[in-house]
C-alpha cells in the first residue's frame, strides 16, 4: 500500500459545517461545544488524548481544553489554551488565540482561562442555548452557573435565555450523512485495517508452520504495526483477537491465549484515521484450513452477510439488512440441525419466537463514522410518532417499535452477522465453541452499497489461499 500524503481539509470545510449548523439554531441562539477532557490513566500519566467528535467535526482543531461558541448568524468564537512557553516545552506547541482565527477560519478566539468570565456576557440577550446533553460530565452544571450569572444582571436589563436545547439532535443528523472528504478518509481507514487483517492471518499461519508458540497478542501487535505504519493514530476501539472458544465472548479483547492449529481465530479490529473509524471482523482457521464443521458455519454466516449486503441500498430501511440476515441464519440453523425443527417449528416460527437468538444475539450493523458506533437516530425522523407495541417473545418485555431509518446515499454502516455456539447437550459436539463473525464497512449508494473493507477477502477459499506459504 502506498503511503500517499493527503492534504488536510481546508478551514472552509469546517466553516461550511458551522454555517449549516448555525442555520438550524433558530434566532438569537448560541451553541456551546466543548472538546473532550484529558483523562488521567494513573497518577500523572494521561491516556492518549482523543478530541470530542462534535467539536472536531466543527473545527478541525485537535488540542485539548478548548470550546467553540457558534451563534445563529454563524459568528464563531474559540476558547483555547493560551501560548505558554514552559507548558509548550513539555506538552507541545499550542496554536494559541492570536493565531487561531486565521488558522481555523473563525471570527474570534480567547484564552480558555477567560471562559467563565466571558460566557455569561455571550449568553446575555440570547433566547436559546444549545449544548450536547448528557455527554460531558459536569457541563449542565457549568451552563447553569453561567446562566445564573446572566440572571444576576437582569436588573440591568439583561435578558436570560429561556430555553436549553440538545445540540446532539442537530449534529447527529449532520454527521449521519458523510461528505466527500469524510468518505475519502473512511475508505483509506478501511484499506489500512484490511491490510492489517491480511498480515495477521499470514503471520498466524507462518508462525504455526514454523512450530512457534502463537498467542493472541502476536496478532494484535501485527494489526497495530500495520495501522501505525500507515499513519493511523490508534485503533478505533479495543481490538478483539479471540482464539477458539474466546470468539464466543462478544467483547473479548486480545489477550495471551495460545492459538492452536485446528482452531478458528476471530479478529474484530479497525484503525482510526484522522478521526474516522473502521470496523472489520474476519474469522479464519489458525493453520489456514477450515475443518468441515467450521466451514459449514462459516458458509452460513457468509450467506447471511450477502443477504444483508443485498438489502442495503438507498430507500431501504436500516432494519432490512438485519431481517435478511436473520432469515438466512434461521433457515441455516434448521438445516444444520443446530435448531431442532420438531421443537422450534418452521423458519417463520424461529424468527417469530427469536429461537435463533441463542446463536445470534446482536444486531447486524450500526452507523460508522467518527465514532465506531456512530451517532444518528435509527428511527426515521418524520415517523417517530408511529409507534407500535409488541411483547418480546424471550424476555416478555413490552417493546415500542418505531419505523426504522430510511437509508440515504452517504450514510455509512457495518454489516456484521455472526454465529456463536456454546457447548450444550442439544448441540452436536462438532460445533461447540465455534464463534464466527464477518464484518464489513459499507457506504450506502443509490444502487446498493459500496463495501470499503474488502481488501481483506471474506471468501473462505481466498482466505485459505492467502494463508498458504
Is the Cβ of residue 252 or residue 298 nearer to ligand GLY in the bound state? 252
**Interacting partner of 216 out of Mn ion, ligand GLY, none (Cβ under 5 to 8 A depending on kind):** none
**Interacting partner of 237 out of Mn ion, ligand GLY, none (Cβ under 5 to 8 A depending on kind):** ligand GLY
Among 52, 182, 220, 268, binds Mn ion (CB under 5 A): 268
Alpha-carbon gap, residue 366 to 236, rounded angstroms: 14
User: Diameter of the chain by CA atoms?
Assistant: 82
Alpha-carbon gap, residue 67 to 55, rounded angstroms: 8
Q: Clarify whether 437 is annotated catalytic.
A: yes
Alpha-carbon gap, residue 52 to 132, rounded angstroms: 11
Site residues (CB under 6 A) for ligand GLY, limited to 222-281: 237, 268, 279
Retrieve residue 403's grid coordinates. 419505523
Site residues (CB under 6 A) for ligand GLY, limited to 440-469: none
Q: Clarify whether 373 is annotated catalytic.
A: yes
Alpha-carbon gap, residue 225 to 196, rounded angstroms: 8
Is the Cβ of residue 70 or residue 438 nearer to ligand GLY in the bound state? 438
Among 216, 222, 226, 279, binds Mn ion (CB under 5 A): 279
Nearest Cα neighbor of 189 from 410, 11, 370 is: 370
Is the Cβ of residue 242 or residue 300 nearer to Mn ion in the bound state? 242
Is the Cβ of residue 286 or residue 368 nearer to Mn ion in the bound state? 368
**Around 395, how many Cα atoms within 13 Å sit in the side-chain half-sphere?**
6
Question: Locate cell 488524548: which residue?
Answer: 49
Q: Identify any residues that bridge with 451 across adjacent strands, giving them in sequence order.
A: 442
Question: Locate cell 476501539: which residue?
Answer: 237
Q: Clarify whether 416 is annotated catalytic.
A: yes
CB of 156 to Mn ion, least distance (A): 54
Of 63, 182, 272, 279, catalytic = 279
Q: Clarify whether 226 is annotated catalytic.
A: no
Among 414, 435, 440, 456, binds Mn ion (CB under 5 A): 414
Alpha-carbon gap, residue 249 to 141, rounded angstroms: 39
CB of 320 to ligand GLY, least distance (A): 19
CB of 246 to ligand GLY, least distance (A): 15
Contact 64, 51 (CB under 8 A): yes
- Contacts of 327-330 with CB under 8 Å at 24 or more apart are 327/351, 328/300, 328/303, 328/304, 329/300, 329/301, 329/304, 329/356, 329/359, 329/360, 329/417, 329/419, 330/355, 330/356
**How many other β-carbons are positioned within 10 Å of the β-carbon of residue 432?**
14
Q: What mask, x for binding ligand GLY by CB under 6 A, covers residues 277 to 306? A: --x---------------------------
Planar angle of CA 212, 217, 218, nearest 5 degrees: 40
Size of the site for Mn ion (CB under 5 A): 4
Q: Which DSSP letter does residue 237 get?
A: S
CB of 416 to ligand GLY, least distance (A): 6
Site residues (CB under 5 A) for Mn ion, limited to 417-436: none
Is the Cβ of residue 249 or residue 352 nearer to ligand GLY in the bound state? 249
Is residue 371 near ligand GLY by the rule CB under 6 A? no
CB of 250 to Mn ion, least distance (A): 10
Of 373, 390, 429, 468, catalytic = 373
Order of strands, edge to edge, in the sheet holding 271-273? 234-235, 271-273, 276-277
Q: Clarify whether 6 is annotated catalytic.
A: no
Q: What mask, x for binding ligand GLY by CB under 6 A, covers residues 406 to 435? A: ----------x-------------------
CB of 145 to ligand GLY, least distance (A): 37
Q: Identify any residues that bridge with 401 across adjacent strands, giving them in sequence order.
A: 388
Cα-Cα-Cα-Cα dihedral sign, residues 17, 19, 21, 23: negative
**How many other β-carbons are positioned within 10 Å of the β-carbon of residue 236?**
25
Is the Cβ of residue 21 or residue 265 nearer to ligand GLY in the bound state? 265
**Positions that interact with Mn ion (CB under 5 A):** 268, 279, 414, 439
Which residues are catalytically annotated?
44, 251, 268, 279, 362, 366, 373, 416, 420, 437, 439
Amino acid at each position: 500500500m502506498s503511503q500517499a500524503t493527503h492534504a488536510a481539509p481546508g478551514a472552509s470545510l469546517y466553516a461550511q459545517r458551522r454555517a449549516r449548523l448555525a442555520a438550524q439554531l433558530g434566532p438569537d441562539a448560541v451553541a456551546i461545544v466543548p472538546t473532550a477532557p484529558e483523562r488521567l490513566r494513573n497518577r500523572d500519566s494521561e491516556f492518549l488524548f482523543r478530541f470530542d467528535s462534535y467539536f472536531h467535526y466543527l473545527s478541525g482543531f485537535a488540542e485539548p481544553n478548548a470550546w467553540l461558541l457558534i451563534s445563529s448568524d454563524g459568528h464563531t468564537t474559540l476558547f483555547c489554551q493560551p501560548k505558554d512557553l514552559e507548558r509548550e516545552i513539555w506538552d507541545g506547541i499550542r496554536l494559541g488565540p492570536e493565531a487561531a482565527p486565521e488558522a481555523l477560519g473563525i471570527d474570534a478566539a480567547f484564552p480558555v482561562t477567560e471562559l467563565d468570565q466571558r460566557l455569561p456576557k455571550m449568553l446575555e440577550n440570547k433566547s436559546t442555548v444549545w449544548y450536547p446533553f448528557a455527554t460531558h460530565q459536569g457541563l449542565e452544571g457549568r451552563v447553569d452557573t453561567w446562566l445564573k450569572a446572566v440572571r444576576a444582571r437582569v436588573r440591568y436589563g439583561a435578558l436570560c435565555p429561556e430555553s436549553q436545547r440538545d445540540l446532539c439532535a442537530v449534529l447527529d443528523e449532520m454527521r449521519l450523512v458523510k461528505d466527500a472528504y469524510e468518505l475519502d478518509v473512511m475508505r483509506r481507514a478501511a484499506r489500512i485495517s484490511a491490510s492489517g487483517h491480511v498480515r495477521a492471518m499470514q503471520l498466524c499461519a507462518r508462525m504455526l508452520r514454523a512450530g512457534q508458540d502463537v498467542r493472541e497478542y502476536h496478532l494484535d501487535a501485527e494489526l497495530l504495526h500495520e495501522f501505525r505504519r500507515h499513519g493511523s493514530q490508534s485503533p478505533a476501539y479495543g481490538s478483539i483477537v479471540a482464539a477458539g472458544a474466546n470468539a464466543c465472548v462478544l467483547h473479548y479483547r486480545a489477550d495471551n491465549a495460545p492459538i492452536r492449529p485446528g482452531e478458528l481465530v476471530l479478529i474484530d479490529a479497525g484503525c482510526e484515521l484522522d478521526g474516522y473509524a473502521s470496523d472489520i471482523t474476519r474469522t479464519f482457521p489458525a493453520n489456514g484450513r477450515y475443518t468441515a464443521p467450521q466451514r459449514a458455519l462459516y458458509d452460513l454466516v457468509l450467506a447471511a452477510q450477502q443477504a444483508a449486503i443485498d438489502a442495503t441500498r438507498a430507500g431501504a430501511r436500516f432494519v432490512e439488512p438485519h431481517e435478511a440476515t436473520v432469515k438466512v441464519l434461521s433457515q441455516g440453523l434448521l438445516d444444520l440441525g443446530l435448531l431442532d425443527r420438531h421443537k422450534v417449528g418452521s423458519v417463520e416460527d424461529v424468527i417469530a419466537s427469536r429461537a435463533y437468538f441463542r446463536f445470534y444475539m446482536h444486531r447486524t450493523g450500526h452507523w460508522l463514522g467518527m465514532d465506531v458506533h456512530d451517532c444518528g437516530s435509527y428511527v426515521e425522523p418524520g415517523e417517530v410518532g408511529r409507534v407500535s407495541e409488541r411483547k418480546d417473545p424471550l424476555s416478555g418485555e413490552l417493546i415500542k417499535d418505531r419505523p426504522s431509518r430510511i437509508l440515504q446515499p452517504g450514510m455509512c454502516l457495518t454489516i456484521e452477522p455472526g454465529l456463536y455456539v456454546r457447548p450444550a447437550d442439544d448441540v452436536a459436539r462438532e460445533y461447540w465453541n465455534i464463534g464466527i463473525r464477518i464484518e464489513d464497512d459499507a457506504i450506502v449508494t443509490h444502487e446498493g452499497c459500496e463495501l470499503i473493507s474488502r481488501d481483506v477477502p471474506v471468501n473462505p477459499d481466498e482466505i485459505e489461499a492467502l494463508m498458504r506459504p
